[in-house]
Structure 1
Amino acid sequence: MRLRTAVAALLVIGAVSGCGGSGSESERATAVVTSTAPSTLSGVPDLAAGQEIVRDVEVPWGLAFLPDGGALVAERDTGRILRVLPGRAPERVYEVPGVVARGEGGLLGLAVAPDFAESRYVYAYFTAAEDNRIVRFRLDGPPEVILDGIAKAGNHNGGRIAFGPDGMLYAGTGDAAQGNRSQDPASLNGKILRLTPDGAAAAGNPTPGSPVYSMGHRNVQGLAWDRAGRLFAAEFGQNTFDEINLIEPGRNYGWPLVEGMGGTDRGFTDPQVIWRPSEASPSGIAISGDTLYVAALRGERLWTVPLRDGVLGTPRSQLPDLGRLRTVAVARDGALWLTTSNTDGRGDVRAGDDRIIRFPAR
């Protein structure tokens, strides 16, 4: 295990945050939006005050907060789950059996049950020998499969899971490199799924008895809700446009027939924000107040997007010196946690990679 003792050393990010104004002219030109809603800056995470709290994590992917202020972090390729608490050495607390880590697959998303204090349940999305699946478990017991049969591939496995404000478990899946699955209502792939905590199709889904909440997705790896309970999702494009979508039940977001804007005349729902993949390749997203945070892999930066009344504004480029970014999440105390992904086989590995960095609320 390459994990070393956690450090709480202050990162030298002053120069990084100084680049976080409106971004370069080329960045502004390639971030295409449908509106310019203003943002509220009070109470937001301070991106100039980052602290590295863990280093040498092996491909961190999922991250879910515990009631004590710590977090569980999934290592994609090892199947291990670490408990991370600022100021303490990280602790390995679980290893998910049956993880098959190849290509983009492995141990992916994590979620903690809303009633964790009583149930003690943790949820994980991972790639197994035959499929992608979702399990739940207690940290002192074996996993229980609650949903399987999500097709897997070397890429486009999706993997983000999160509990919504309605107490249901949402999962973003990929098309597993076959775009036709995204338009097949009988397939679990290329969808956002809405499940009960036991893994059944949630009541009120668009099709009774089906877990499918929305369809027409290529590869969803980011899910976040605003203060009004609206769901936003990050979508990897192919060669033309990445997307941030406002997700509504029963909507079809067009893949593989549409990438980016221009699908409304055919009954599809357009995204609110699009980028060229070289500027983004968005994975995890999070919302704090009136700002949407987007972790960019190929784009190697954090995008901040103003959010007002369900409408996204003009993205701003932040933190360009950390490399590939996989997961961003807002803790209970308002701090923003960010994971790098430079050891995933596609990045330039730097001393200390991969890292988890915490930005306190101000």
Structure 2
Amino acid sequence: MRPIRCFPLLVVVVLFGSALSVSESRAGFSEAPVATGLDFPVAMAFAPDGRLFFTERFSGKVRLITNPTSANPRLLPDAVYRFGPVSSFFERGLLGLALDPDFQNNGYLYVYYSHRGRDSKTDPYRHRLMRITVKGDRGESPVVLLDRLPIGSASEFGAGNHNGGILAFGPDGKLYLSIGDLATPKNSQDLDSFAGKILRLNPDGTAPTDNPFYDSKRPTAPRSYVYAFGLRNSFGLTFEPRLSLPDRQAGGGQAGPPGKARLFATENGPATNDELDIIEPGKNYGWDDDRISGVRNKPGYIDPILVYHRTIAPTGIVFYTGTRYPEVYQGKLFFTDWNEGRIRVVTLTGRDSVDGVSVQDDLFRHRGGVVDLKMGPDGLLYFTTPKGIYRLIYDDAP
């Protein structure tokens, strides 16, 4: 496995690589800073009132921009909440963030972070899923929803990569969480391990009884939470919008049948085979101890919808439902990558199921790795980088 997969090394490779030319971005597209000088923002989420919450990987802080869509965004100097102690070794840190679907009423904010333990028995290193309640611009009432999630090494130094940690709420009101294989490929095929999986949870941290491997005799066992397995390090989750867009035909719109919303994910292969996947309940995405991405003889195996044979390290992913970009991009699936800093556009083909994928555009290239990608209430795309948050602007003026 090549070290270029790992965040700390990637920063050096990308940021100090060769200069990028303007021609690597489509005409009319440019970026504008929303906040810079940050401590490695990873995940972000827009609140119903337009505020932007985000995690800082190194500091353990959830921070807040009160008016991110304005010409002069205001980043609050104080944290909404600081989690910790946080282990930020290698790829660890404060990673995922999601807002409750009823956030405007309950103020619930969820995070996934790497806990730096003090004692191997009473307070070991581990990953945690936690919830806080946001009131105004402050968080309070922390609740641990899942504790002692595997971290790969019970120390500060050891395998600290492939943590996953991306959170997303589905249209079913359930919370979805990706956890990587923690640099131990055999974890991905083991249903009694949380690692190498996408989990599905009730908002209170319990396992839904309709999960594909739910065990009524062991409701807290890892398999009761597993939604999909055989994954290496999924670092982006998004649900297909339930919109009545055009049928998926070659060059057409993206959304599937109205009322049906599927889960899409980016998946990082080893030195090759980076993927886009449609995540289906109970399916096996092929990663295992053979260290081969996509082993078709595995029970329940399902093919990816797109494979890159070079290493791009795909990260954030989102469907674009705005109207601020040219019509050809409306309703399309966008994703970013870490190695090349690109924002890419994918065209899906087919009607009730995806039967083909083509990469339509390498739309924009940032000078450095890109992590998360979200659509703002102003209809623009926003993305995180190791030092800042930016918006993608389109101006067709000559």
TM interval, short-chain normalised: 0.7 to 0.9
Structure 1 length as normaliser, TM-score? 0.80
Per-residue deviation, 1:333: 3.6
Amino acid at match of 1:106: G
Tell me if structure 2 keeps the 8 A contact 1:323–1:340: yes
Judging changes above 3 Å, is the alpha-carbon distance between structure 1 residues 305 and 258 closer, same or farther for their aligned structure 2 residues? farther
Alignment of 1:213-232 (within 5 A): 213-227=227-241, 228-232=260-264
- 1:286 maps to which residue? 318
Per-residue deviation, 1:356: 1.0
- 1:127 maps to which residue? 114
- 1:147 maps to which residue? 146
Q: Does 1:90 align with 2:75?
A: yes
Unaligned runs of 5+ in 1: 1-14, 22-45, 342-353
- 1:56 maps to which residue? 37
Structure 2 length as normaliser, TM-score? 0.73
Instruction: Specify which of 221, 234, 237 is matched with residue 269 of structure 2.
Output: 237
Deviations along 1:305-333, one digit per CA (max 9) or x if unpaired, are 11344536222323224210111012234
Between the aligned partners of 2:210 and 2:74, the Cα distance in structure 1 is 43
Which has the greater radius of gyration?
A: 2
Instruction: Specify which of 190, 201, 206 is matched with residue 184 of structure 1.
Output: 190
Unaligned runs of 5+ in 2: 1-20, 117-124, 153-159, 242-259, 322-330
Tell me if structure 1 keeps the 8 A contact 2:29–2:393: no
Amino acid at match of 1:169: L
Between the aligned partners of 2:30 and 2:169, the Cα distance in structure 1 is 29
Between the aligned partners of 2:302 and 2:35, the Cα distance in structure 1 is 40
Between the aligned partners of 2:226 and 2:149, the Cα distance in structure 1 is 12
Tell me if structure 1 keeps the 8 A contact 2:274–2:313: yes
- 1:314 maps to which residue? 358
Provide the secondary structure at the position in 2 that maps to 1:181.
Answer: helix
Tell me if structure 2 keeps the 8 A contact 1:170–1:195: yes
Judging changes above 3 Å, is the alpha-carbon distance between structure 1 residues 156 and 110 closer, same or farther for their aligned structure 2 residues? same
Q: Which moved more, 1:257-266 or 1:94-103?
A: 257-266
- 1:162 maps to which residue? 168
Provide the secondary structure at the position in 1 that maps to 2:92.
Answer: coil
Per-residue deviation, 1:221: 1.1
Provide the secondary structure at the position in 1 that maps to 2:33.
Answer: strand
- 2:18 maps to which residue? none
Tell me if structure 2 keeps the 8 A contact 1:260–1:271: no
Between the aligned partners of 1:283 and 1:47, the Cα distance in structure 2 is 24
User: Which structure has the higher relative contact order (CA within 8 Å, separation 6+)?
Assistant: 1
- 1:358 maps to which residue? 391
Identity of aligned residues (%): 35
Tell me if structure 2 keeps the 8 A contact 1:238–1:277: no
Tell me if structure 2 keeps the 8 A contact 1:233–1:244: yes
Provide the secondary structure at the position in 1 that maps to 2:208.
Answer: coil
Between the aligned partners of 2:102 and 2:28, the Cα distance in structure 1 is 31
RMSD: 2.3
Per-residue deviation, 1:126: 0.4
Between the aligned partners of 1:241 and 1:299, the Cα distance in structure 2 is 16
Between the aligned partners of 1:190 and 1:142, the Cα distance in structure 2 is 30
Between the aligned partners of 2:198 and 2:300, the Cα distance in structure 1 is 18
Per-residue deviation, 1:177: 0.9
Deviations along 1:86-107, one digit per CA (max 9) or x if unpaired, are 2232013221133221110000
Amino acid at match of 2:337: A
